[in-house]
Amino acid sequence: MRWANVRYLYKMDVRARIEQLREELHAHNHRYYVLADPVVSDREFDALLEELVGLEASHPEWKDPHSPTQRVGGDLTDKFEKVAHRSPMLSLSNTYNAEEVAQWVERVKGGLPDEEVEFVMELKYDGVAISLWYEQGNLVRAVTRGDGTTGEDVRANVATIRTLPLQLQAGAPDPLEIRGEIYFPWPDFEALNLARREAGEQEFANPRNTAAGTLKLQDSKVVATRPLDCMIYNIDAQTMSGAEVECHSEAVAMAKVWGFKTPEGRRLEVAQSVEEVMGFVSHWNEARHRLDFAIDGIVIKVNRYDQQKRLGMTAKSPRWAIAFKFETERVRTELKSVRYQVGRTGAVTPVAELDPVQLGGTTVKKASLHNADQMARLDLREGDMVFVEKGGEIIPKIVGVDRSEAHGEGLFAPPAISFPAACPSCGHHLRRKEGEAQHHCPNRIDCPAQVMGRIEHFISRKAMNVDGLGEETVKQLVEAGLVRDVADLYSLQKEDLLPLERMAEKSADNLLQGLKQSKSVPFERVLFAFGIRHVGETVAKLLARALGSLTAVRQATLEEVTAIEGMGPVIAESVTTQFQEEAFLQMLDRLVSSGLQTEVIVKAPVGDAMEGEVVVVSGVFDTMSRDEAKAAVTAHGGRLVGSISSKTTMVLAGENMGPSKLAKAQKLEIPVVGEQDFLRRIGNI
Ligand code: IVH
């Protein structure tokens, strides 16, 4: 009886602590992301967050979708609920020049005779529209535009966006509907594509589509790894009437106080005349190239709500707002030639070499041609004058040929550039799989381009990080026949290196030293360095931690790999197929014998923090495999048991612990300890 009371009191304390942490973290988030004025260090913040994660894991009964911990991605949604919009999500009519803007201004003034009209201009964010619903200050729904009348509730995914408050600051209207645009900032988009390139995966074409695709992902944990952002642009006028705000620009300022990220500085301005509006437009038409996110124009709105209301709307768009769309910048230049790049996975990509030209603030020398179909559509010839555009994409593309500049007729016409039948690197006949757009060189083992690509990936910074070995040396080594695969690197001798161009005694020593040092690179990075398709840095880490050793990865079946957290059938297929390839396995044996790391090193924790505990380990953990968790329990004096009984004193619970187990633990009042809490108890963090 006494025990139960103590436990009850303890529970109440924990509950209060959880609430306190949530409140503090919400406030810190607001200061950090919105006010850009943090009062604690990142470290202090992380410590608070971890404490909360730990407590929530041990007390799943107090889980709260509004908790700051939910930023890491919560529930698995398998379909999205359809939700009717409270008011339709309209689109805007477009204008393309000053004259059209002037005509719209006239129409507005005609609709508001004898009234002063003030305009407000904002950037037109190139992303995905979202309607955010808050009740009692909590984000309860995040609804996509859908068909304008009905959208889908993607709240779990939107909740991962760090610049969006899950809980509003005090004083915000209740309920509140607020709309904005979710977008993928350029630097994060580029980083994502780099990771995909390294994993041998298809890169995403542009940030807008990637943002849209990301919002529809089923697994919000994946969404949480993609740093989306959200800017607010529309606050329901009805709501604002309660707050005694009379115009859009004031409402935006209020939204900032409630905790939202809103445009600042020159990103939102008011104007009285067409000239001022156009001044804003031309400033941003040029300055947009320096923004770290994409915009496709400017939105011009009538500022005052009462005037907006009187102007009303047409079936499709409001009369009180209009978009000015920027021209996609397009330049004309000469196509010098087409080069074919063979990647490490054998994919062949045509790249157009151009006469250098200025476009969107950078000099463009190359353009992507994607694949053979795209080339055939364009019917290209060397020397053609082509149009190049850089729209929402990072890599400029050829959108057409200037046919007014004929490239000769009949016999004098240069031949159309056609996709080669043979690999430009090894001469093997190229293949194109049924239904795929890309050509592949099937000569995996000997194709110099693929070999070089694999070696370059293997030695790269995030993989084996071999100092003293650059692209040029790799090329020489491969061409001289000294290196045919990555395993050959480790049998290189100084006398092999010295005859190479620009290879002095010192640089040879450095290279050999770099290779030697790479032998201590941890196993997860070795696994990444193999360059297996779909196995990027993150997947490699997950695989290594789940399976523990190269031997285990080698032997893992398709089902076993699929069952690992974070893996899917495509990755599993790629991994298991790779580990069946005879030549690859032989190469692996040679690599292993040269002494690379082939096992995950677990810090051996020794102590007595688990003394007297009878522990059931269940679920999946983030930083350790289940076997490692068990080893840590025993290493700290705990005793393991397989199932929960009245003798059990603790359940060490990872994610996905079965609900029946949880219910049983609760019924027997056995404390359920989360991963972070456990690690803290054994002094590992
Ligand atoms: S105001 C009635 N402001 O552009 C619609 N929209 O083509 C009021 N957009 O669906 C929209 N930036 O997704 C507004 N500063 C901004 C915007 C913006 C981007 C998007 C929005 C809208 C689309 C209209």
How high does pLDDT run on average in the chain? Answer: 88
Q: Name the residue range of residue 560's domain.
A: 523-594
Sign of CA dihedral 550, 551, 555, 560: negative
- Model confidence at 10, pLDDT cuts 50, 70, 90, reads low
Of all protein residues, the one whose alpha carbon is nearest to atom 10 of ligand 1 is: 91
Report the atom number in ligand 1 closest to the C-alpha of 318: 2
pLDDT of residue 206: 82
- Regarding whether 222 and 177 lie in a shared domain, the answer is yes
Give mean pLDDT, residues 559-569: 84
At 74 the pLDDT is: 40
Q: Are residues 317 and 227 in the same domain?
A: yes
Q: What is the pLDDT of residue 42?
A: 67
Assess if residue 266 is contained within a domain.
Answer: yes
Q: Are 625 and 560 in contact, with CB atoms under 8 Å apart?
A: no
Clarify whether residues 281 and 303 are in a common domain. yes
Average pLDDT value for residue range 119-137: 95
Q: What is the pLDDT of residues 646-663, one digit of tens each?
A: 889 999 998 878 778 888
Q: Which helix (H) or strand (E) holds 134?
A: strand 128-135
**Span from the CA of 608 to the centroid of ligand 1 (angstroms):** 60
Claim to verify: residue 286 and residue 360 sit in the same structural domain: no
Instruction: Report which of residues 671 and 639 the model is more confident about.
Output: 671
Residue at 438 is within a domain = no
**Catalytic residue among 63, 79, 82, 124, which?**
124
CATH number for position 22:
1.10.287.610
Q: Within 10 Å of residue 232's Cβ, how many Cβ atoms? A: 22
Site to probe by mutation for ligand 1, drawn from 299, 302, 320 as the one with most ligand atoms within 8 Å of Cβ, is 299
Does residue 9 carry a pLDDT above 60? no
Instruction: For residue 41, tell me if it sits in a domain.
Output: yes
Question: How many Å lie between the centroid of ligand 1 and the Cα of residue 92?
Answer: 7
**Domain identity same for 299 and 223:** yes
Angle 543-548-554 (CA atoms, 0-180°, nearest 5)? 70
pLDDT at 603: 55
The pLDDT assigned to 502 comes to 87
User: Does a structural domain hold residue 421?
Assistant: no
Q: What is the pTM of this model?
A: 0.64
Residue 162 lies in a domain: yes
Tell me, what's the pLDDT at 5? Answer: 44
Residue 444 in any domain: the answer is no
Please tell me the distance from the alpha carbon of residue 627 to that of residue 643, in angstroms, as a whole number: 16
Q: Distance between CA 610 and CA 631 in Å, rounded?
A: 12
Q: Which of 21-30, 179-188, 456-465, 601-610 has the lowest mean pLDDT?
A: 601-610
pLDDT, tens digit, 9 for 90 and up, residues 310-340: 999 887 789 999 999 988 778 899 999 999 9
List the CATH number of the domain containing 496: 1.10.150.20
Greater pLDDT, 6 or 351 = 351
DSSP one-letter string for 592-638: HHTT---BPPPP----STTTT-EEEEESB-SSS-HHHHHHHHHHTT-
Position in ligand 1 atom list of the atom nearest CA 313: 2
The tens digit of pLDDT for each residue in 249-306 reads 999 999 999 999 999 889 999 999 999 999 999 999 989 988 999 899 999 999 999 9
Q: Measuring from atom 12 of ligand 1, which residue has the nearest CA?
A: 124
| Structural contact between residues 638 and 665, judged by C-beta atoms closer than 8 angstroms | no
What is the whole-number distance in angstroms between the Cα of residue 124 and the centre of ligand 1?
Answer: 6
Say whether 102 sits in a helix, a strand or coil. helix
Residues 253 and 382 in one domain: no
At 90, the pLDDT band (50, 70, 90 cuts) reads: confident
- Residue 155: band (very low, low, confident or very high) from pLDDT cuts 50, 70, 90: very high
Assess whether 175 and 275 both reside in one domain. Answer: yes
pLDDT in tens, 430-476: 999 888 888 999 998 889 999 999 999 999 988 999 988 988 999 99
For residue 126, give the ligand 1 atom closest to its CA: 19
Span from the CA of 254 to the centroid of ligand 1 (angstroms): 19
Ramachandran category for residue 356: left, alpha or beta (phi over 0 → left; psi -120 to 50 → alpha) = beta
Which residue of 124, 184, 229 sits with most ligand 1 atoms within 8 Å of its CB, as the best mutation to test the pocket? 124
Ligand 1 atom closest to Cα of residue 128:
13
CA dihedral sign of residues 527, 532, 536, 541: negative
Position 147 scores a pLDDT of 81
pLDDT in tens, 502-541: 889 999 999 999 999 999 999 999 999 999 988 998 889 8
91 Cα–ligand 1 center, Å: 7
Using CA atoms, how far apart are residues 506 and 512, in angstroms rounded to an integer?
A: 10
Closest residue CA from atom 13 of ligand 1? 129
Residue-level pLDDT at 598: 94
What pLDDT band is residue 215 in, cutting at 50, 70 and 90?
very high
Atom 22 of ligand 1, nearest CA residue? 91
Instruction: Examine the domain organization and report whether 288 and 156 are in the same domain.
Output: yes
User: Residue 404 in 3-state DSSP?
Assistant: coil
Whether 505 and 530 map to the same domain: the answer is: no
Protein residues with CB under 6 Å of any ligand 1 atom: 90-92, 122, 124-125, 129, 181, 233-234, 299, 318, 321, 323
Task: Give pLDDT, residue 519.
Answer: 95
- Kindly state whether residue 27 falls inside one of the protein's structural domains: yes
Does the structure show a pLDDT above 70 at 43? Answer: no
Protein residue with its CA nearest to atom 21 in ligand 1: 129
Final residue of a domain: which of 518, 544, 559? 518
DSSP of 153-180: E-HHHHTT-TTS-SBPPTT--SSEEEEE
446 is a domain residue: no
Nearest ligand 1 atom to the CA of 263 is 15
In a shared domain, residues 177 and 148: yes
644 — pLDDT class (breaks 50, 70, 90): confident
Which of 122-126, 412-416, 667-671, 676-680: highest mean pLDDT?
122-126
Weakest mean pLDDT among 93-97, 492-496, 565-569: 565-569
Q: Among 309, 325, 341, identify where a domain stops.
A: 325
Same domain, 534 and 630: no
pLDDT tens by residue, 572-612: 999 999 999 999 999 999 999 999 999 988 655 578 899 88
For residue 125, the CA-to-ligand 1 centroid distance in Å is 8
CA of 668 to the centre of ligand 1 (A): 55
CA distance 346 to 343: 5
- Clarify whether residues 150 and 191 are in a common domain: yes
3-state secondary structure 192-237: HHHHHHHCCCCCCCCHHHHHHHHHCCCEHHHHHCCCCEEEEEEECH
Evaluate if residue 15 carries a pLDDT over 90.
Answer: no
Distance of CA 132 from the midpoint of ligand 1 (Å): 14
**Are 397 and 363 contacting, i.e. CB atoms less than 8 angstroms apart?**
no
Contacts of 1 (CB under 8 A, 6+ apart): none
CATH no. for residue 319? 3.30.470.30
Please count the structural domains in the chain: 6
Smallest CA separation from ligand 1 atom 18, residue: 124
Residue 124 annotated among the catalytic residues of the structure: yes
How far is the C-alpha of 297 from the C-alpha of 302, rounded, in Å? 17
* 411 pLDDT higher than 70: no
Our mutation pick for probing the ligand 1 site, out of 234, 281, 295, 313, counting the most ligand atoms within 8 A of Cβ, is 234
Domain final position from 533, 566, 594:
594
pLDDT of the residue at 45: 79
